[in-house]
A and B are shown apart, each in its own frame.
Chain A
Amino acid sequence: DAGVIQSPRHEVTEMGQEVTLRCKPISGHDYLFWYRQTMMRGLELLIYFNNNVPIDDSGMPEDRFSAKMPNASFSTLKIQPSEPRDSAVYFCASSLGGGSTEAFFGQGTRLTVV
């Protein structure tokens, strides 16, 4: 398996524009997570899905952020409108089962909002 695949790897956009980040989890995994990493706040869990259903979105910072998982092999994280403070590295991760199973991370999308 190719692992968790995120696209794009880098995104530079202007303030006010819509940004869509994409993630393809490992085939067969039933949990999918979106994290944001910044120098100031470290790694923050934004939202996670189980069997394509959002379970906890309490980490989503504002209504400008939304996430979807239309099927088991694809998820998006959308920011509309984007702001400079959204600049961060966004990671997608997936795992099989709950409890203590390992989460596998993608390589991340580095978002810069200017």
Chain B
Amino acid sequence: AQSVTQLGSHVSVSEGALVLLRCNYSSSVPPYLFWYVQYPNQGLQLLLKYTSAATLVKGINGFEAEFKKSETSFHLTKPSAHMSDAAEYFCAFISSGSARQLTFGSGTQLTVLP
């Protein structure tokens, strides 16, 4: 079955440091891939998405992700972490050609240390 795997349920970085959140997908056909963010007691908000138009995708709040087919990865990065980036981040996918099923990874809680 197709899925996404997020490596690391908790990641801590210092303010100003690089943020790297990992996501790998398992699919013979690259799916549509997404990163969502969830702030405490809030719903999910789309950060960015990959739809095969470009392998490097830029999103909101300075985040970007690079689709690497050879590594089946879609890692999320941000050059310099802010305190306001502390949240839970979810990688998600929709299988190409399937019905409209958005399936989420298990999430990564990002902590930003002062």
Contact = CB atoms under 8 A, between A and B. Distances in A.
Interface of A: 4, 31, 33, 42-43, 45, 48, 50, 55-56, 91, 93, 95, 98-100, 102-108
Interface of B: 32, 34, 41-46, 49, 51, 90, 94, 99-107
A99 B49 CA distance: 12
Contact of B94 (A50, A56, A93, A99): A99
B63 to A, nearest CB: 15
**Residue picked from B34, B43, B44, B104, most chain A C-beta under 10 Å:** B43
Contacts of B99: 55-56, 98
B100 A105 contact: no
B106 A45 contact: no
Contacts of A105: 43-45
Nearest to A98: B100
B100 A108 contact: no
Contacts of A104: 46
24 contacts: A4-B43, A33-B102, A42-B105, A45-B101, A45-B103, A48-B100, A48-B101, A50-B100, A55-B100, A91-B43, A93-B43, A93-B44, A93-B102, A98-B99, A102-B46, A103-B102, A104-B46, A105-B44, A105-B45, A106-B43, A107-B42, A107-B43, A108-B42, A108-B43
A95 B41 CA distance: 21
A13 to B, nearest CB: 20
